[in-house]
């Protein structure tokens, strides 16, 4: 791997670690200083490695340079002496006490856990929490986030800056979450990770349907939660199980051109069975206690989708899980997916009747579903629905898939 490729990989994996540790050490009000230190560290790596080659342990090199730059900044700027000294033990020498930055594996893990709960503080709205998570916890730059959410760079930049300002104004502490903090913010944390994974699983971007990097970051953060005793619980395990089951089919979901491959057309040999096993393990862990969340039900649905054999038992189980999910937390997407399962379990006529009750006429998935359900029963009506879907769909991948459906029905 060349310098640029390695630096991009390290930026994604190490940026959030160092920022989290520095914020944990000095507080969220100094987040810009932390980000500057890390950015300067990677700039130094780019220049130094180009001249002298890649060091034997690149991550350790970055940690050392970040520590040195922190030390230099502390000594250089009176801001730290004026504002940070009172926050530490009285009478302790400033530099002896403050310069040591703990970048041990345990402190990195604790700092990242603390930052998850800071980023997901309800002082910010959910869309701001997701943007902050992508930027601060996952290392995605402003343009990447803007592209993912079909938004302008300036809009995302302002959203993130406003989010940081609110955290600072609220005086949110960067510290391992206590029992009450976990109880208060758990829902927001899980929602943020769920939305982050969902954006990767079905990206809103015009250019790509699957963002594996978003999904991998969501899974990394979810695994961080199950790895800590205080945050390891049934809901977290259920969410991680759901992610594992979906991620197991990533390699089969798109072709070489990046086009989406429908579930029934996927090559089962490309499914990652090791991830299926992990999903089953975390689903088993999620079964402790009496709590039943939407993540449990969605993980159950995702499990049945890892069983490729098209049996009535499979689709009946999926249908019943969707029934429970809609009672627990209704959503139009879940209602559409339930209708597809109903068609597989009990026939297209019953599914069509249920689908048309939904009346989601401005949703291209609604018309695509009806197009599939009518195929073979009334092909003219099927094509009409596919054409309506084509007129509504926003992404190139969706439009290409709909055109394939029209071609398939036309050639019958």
> Each residue's pLDDT tens digit in the chain (412 positions)?
677 888 888 888 899 999 999 999 889 999 999 999 999 999 999 999 988 899 999 999 999 999 999 888 877 665 545 555 555 444 444 444 455 678 888 999 999 999 999 999 999 999 999 999 999 998 888 988 888 777 889 999 999 999 999 999 999 999 989 999 899 899 999 999 999 999 888 876 556 668 898 899 999 999 999 999 999 999 999 999 999 999 999 999 988 877 788 888 899 999 999 999 999 999 999 998 888 999 999 999 999 999 988 899 999 999 999 999 999 999 999 999 999 999 999 999 999 999 999 999 999 999 999 999 999 999 999 999 999 999 999 878 888 889 999 999 998 7
C-alpha–C-alpha distance, residues 274 and 392, integer Å: 38
Q: Which 8-state DSSP code applies to residue 292?
A: -
Q: Give the CA distances from residue 21 to residues 5, 35, 176, in Å, rounded to whole numbers and listed in that order.
A: 25, 11, 12
DSSP states along 105-157: HHHHHHHHHHHHHHHT-TTS-HHHHHHHIIIIIT---HHHHHHHTT--HHHHH
Report residue 376 CA to chain centroid gap: 38
Q: What is each CA distance from 254 to 330, 379, 398, in whole angstroms? A: 29, 27, 12
List Cβ<8 Å contacts ≥24 apart for 367-375.
367/392, 368/402, 368/405, 369/336, 369/339, 369/340, 371/402, 371/405, 371/409, 372/340, 372/405, 373/343, 373/348, 374/348, 375/408, 375/409, 375/412
CA-wise closest residue to 246 among 193, 300, 192, 323: 300
- 70 CB neighbour count, 10 Å cutoff: 25
Q: Nearest CA to 207 among 411, 8, 400?
A: 400
Distance linking the first and last C-alpha atoms of the chain: 49
Angle between helix 105-119 and helix 212-227 axes, rounded to 10 deg: 110
CB 282 within 8 A of CB 303: no
pLDDT for the residue 77: 62
Query: Residue 260 pairs with which residues in a beta bridge?
Result: 254
Least Cα distance to 368 among 386, 346, 342, 341 occurs for: 386
The Cα 60–Cα 232 span in angstroms is: 29
């Amino acid at each position: 791997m060349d310098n640029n490729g390695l630096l991009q990989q390290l930026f994604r994996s190490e940026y959030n670690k160092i920022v989290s540790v520095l914020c944990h050490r000095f507080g969220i009000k100094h987040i810009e200083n932390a980000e500057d230190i890390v950015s300067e560290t990677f700039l130094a790596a780019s220049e130094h490695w180009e001249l002298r080659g890649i060091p034997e342990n690149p991550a350790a090199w970055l940690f050392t340079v970040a520590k040195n730059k922190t030390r230099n900044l502390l000594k250089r700027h009176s801001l730290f002496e004026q504002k940070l000294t009172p926050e530490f033990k009285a009478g302790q020498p400033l530099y002896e006490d403050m310069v040591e930055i703990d970048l041990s594996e345990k402190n990195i893990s604790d700092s990242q856990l603390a930052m998850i709960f800071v980023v997901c503080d309800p002082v910010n709205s959910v869309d701001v929490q997701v943007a902050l998570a992508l930027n601060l916890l996952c290392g995605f730059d402003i343009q990447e986030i803007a592209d993912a959410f079909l938004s302008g760079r300036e809009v995302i930049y302002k959203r993130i800056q406003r989010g940081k300002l609110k955290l600072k104004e609220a005086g949110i502490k960067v510290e391992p979450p206590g029992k009450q903090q976990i109880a208060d913010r758990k829902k927001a944390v899980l929602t943020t990770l769920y939305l982050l994974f969902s954006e990767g699983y079905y990206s809103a971007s015009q250019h790509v349907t699957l963002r594996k990097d978003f999904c991998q970051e969501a899974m990394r953060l979810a695994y961080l939660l199950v790895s800590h005793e205080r945050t390891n619980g049934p809901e977290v395990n259920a969410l991680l199980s759901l992610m594992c089951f979906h991620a197991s089919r990533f390699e089969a979901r798109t072709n070489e051109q990046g086009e989406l491959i429908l579930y029934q057309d996927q090559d089962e040999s490309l499914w990652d069975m090791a991830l299926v096993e992990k999903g089953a393990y975390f689903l088993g862990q999620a079964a402790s206690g009496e709590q039943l969340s939407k993540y449990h039900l969605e993980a159950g649905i995702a499990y049945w989708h890892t069983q490729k054999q098209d049996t009535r038992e499979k689709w009946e189980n999926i249908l019943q899980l969707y029934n429970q999910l809609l009672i627990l937390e209704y959503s139009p997407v879940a209602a559409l997916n339930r209708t597809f399962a109903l068609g597989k379990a009990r026939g297209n006529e019953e599914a069509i009747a249920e689908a048309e009750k939904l009346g989601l006429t401005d949703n291209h998935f609604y018309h695509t579903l009806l197009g599939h359900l009518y195929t073979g029963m009334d092909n003219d009506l099927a094509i009409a629905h596919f054409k309506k879907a084509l007129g509504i769909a926003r992404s190139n991948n969706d439009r290409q898939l709909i055109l394939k459906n029209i071609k398939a029905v036309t050639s019958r």
